[in-house]
Amino acid sequence: MAVGRLRPRTTEELLAGVLDRLRRLETRTSVTVGGPAGAYVLEVNEAGELTARHAATGHVTVVAVPAPEGG
Domain boundaries, the chain: 29-71
Ramachandran quadrant class, 38 (left: phi over 0; alpha: psi -120 to 50; beta: rest): alpha
Averaged in consecutive runs of 10 residues, what is the pLDDT profile of the chain (71 residues)? Answer: 62 83 79 84 90 93 88 61
Give the CA angle between residues 49, 56, 63 to the nearest 5°. Answer: 20
What local confidence, expressed as pLDDT, does residue 1 receive?
A: 44
What local confidence, expressed as pLDDT, does residue 31 receive?
A: 84
CA distance 14 to 38: 15
Model confidence, pTM: 0.62
56 burial type by CB count under 10 A (0-12 exposed, 13-18 middle, 19+ buried): exposed
What local confidence, expressed as pLDDT, does residue 53 receive?
A: 94
